[in-house]
Amino acid sequence: MRYVSTRGRAPALGFADAMLTGLARDGGLYVPEALPRMSKDEIAALAGLPYEEAAFRIMRPFVEGSFDDAEFRALIDRAYAQIGHAARAPLVQLAPDHFLLELFHGPTLAFKDFAMQLIGQLFQAALERSGQRITIVGATSGDTGSAAIEAFRGLPNVDVMILYPHGRVSEVQRRQMTTPTEANVHALAVDGTFDDCQAALKEMFADEAFRDEIGLTAVNSINWGRVLAQVVYFFTSAVALGAPHRPVSFTVPTGNFGDIYAGAIARDMGLPIERLVVATNRNDILHRTLTEGDYRKEGVAPTISPSMDIQVSSNFERALWDAYGRDGAAVAQLMEELKGQGGFAVSQGAIGALRDRFVSGRASEEETLEAIRRTHAETGEVICPHTAVGVHVAQPFLGPVPMVTLATAHPAKFPDAVEQAMGQRPPLPLRMADLYDRPERVTRVAGDLEALKSAIREKTAAA
């Protein structure tokens, strides 16, 4: 399978190269040249399979030419061995027509583990073959850093360095980054804010000599490999609820549009999905776009669902590419307008195409807290604030087909919001209960570019 850029001016690549490259050279995102379809019989045959076997059958055509079957199957097994639930992505029922898909049983208690754990294995296999060594550097305000660390810890061809703002992440988040014992994991506590970390990172990526010297690589949410891994649980959950014989709808707590775009791919492959509901918090650029036809930046307002606090939604470019009839030049022009003027009007034809695929809703802070409170009162389930945004937005779309709301994080990751809603702090899962006793290892670094660069150089040389 070959991948092309949404901006139409970068060379087409195979799966492994598209994954290792991340962002295309023309600034676009890689998308499959043609989507494989699954027949009704093939979808029906997924019923009752272990998650790993279903994942193999669904993703196999996408990696063709990069990984052979036996190798790919083994990598999937290794990736998902770290998920602490036999079903990997279990369903829980909230109401006769409403289900939660629990995606938080991985090592960092959030759905990003499903993509990151697989990416870690696929990167290692591809690098081993070419004899390359890379340094993954990321900046985090809390969550993605630990997902990257968990995915790459102990892998021989990768160093992973995570920059976080000193004193500005929660204790659970910090400990998840500072307690892994593997020598290839480095947590760097930077004197400054998250924006300072991001700005420094951006400059490092712009510095070609430094980039080549240490094999600087990112694994952000636009990586096609991450989107692909997320396609799987749309299939497994829909099949558990009666697909392909019965349609299913999904509500997805959305920030960068990676997770819900995976749902759109599943539908395009043949899964009967009736509705895909985009759920946003008050950072609602996607909801405004779908209702008003205008994609426009506003400032970011901090919320109790921080992993969805975004100004623009990077993976939305893939949906625009589809909606503009795969016209790379048109997408490139929209992105220029976004950069220059802070937004753009979506054409009549394209907004119609987007509305055919997605509906949307928004939850205020009060509505989010109320959804946590009400879900607990009605079902005994404790949900995280991101999931609560989804549960709130799903309400007007319930019935007659089953609705699945994605539970994107474990409530114990956001204990303050949960306590504010229902007066109780959710406990950490048992297998993580010793997090507070593990020794920490971290390097404190001044918040300037040269200090950061030399810290990173030192760590890669030592490995």
- What is the set of active-site residues? 112
- CB atoms under 10 Å from CB of 279, counted, come to 30
Smallest distance from ligand PLP to CB 348, Å? 26
Residue with Cβ nearer ligand PLP (186 or 413): 413
Q: What does each C-alpha distance from 125 to 57, 72, 240, 388, 411 come to in angstroms?
A: 19, 9, 32, 37, 34
Cα separation, 153 vs 128, whole angstroms: 15
* β-pair partners for 362: 280
Positions touching ligand PLP (CB under 6 A) are 110, 112, 143, 221, 253-259, 307-308, 386, 408-409
Cα separation, 223 vs 54, whole angstroms: 22
Smallest distance from ligand PLP to CB 144, Å? 7
Residue with Cβ nearer ligand PLP (6 or 254): 254
Smallest distance from ligand PLP to CB 25, Å? 24
Residue with Cβ nearer ligand PLP (178 or 230): 230
Closest CA to 51 of 18, 76, 24: 76
Smallest distance from ligand PLP to CB 288, Å? 16
- Sheet with 98-102: strands ordered across: 91-95, 98-102, 403-407, 248-253, 273-280, 359-362
Contact residues for 366 (Cβ-Cβ < 8 A; gap 6+): none
Helix axes 143-152, 171-178, angle to 10 degrees: 20
Smallest distance from ligand PLP to CB 180, Å? 19
Phi, then psi, of 381 in degrees rounded to 5:
-80, 140
* β-pair partners for 13: 3
Residue with Cβ nearer ligand PLP (121 or 223): 223
Residue with Cβ nearer ligand PLP (176 or 254): 254
Helix (H) or strand (E) run with residue 222 in it: none
Smallest distance from ligand PLP to CB 267, Å? 16
Residue with Cβ nearer ligand PLP (46 or 393): 393
Smallest distance from ligand PLP to CB 268, Å? 18
Is the distance from CB of 91 to CB of 241 less than 8 angstroms? yes
Q: What does each C-alpha distance from 188 to 109, 144, 181, 218 come to in angstroms?
A: 22, 14, 15, 16
Closest CA to 167 of 197, 192, 199: 192
Residue with Cβ nearer ligand PLP (144 or 179): 144
Closest CA to 368 of 346, 387, 345, 347: 387
Closest CA to 284 of 271, 274, 297: 297
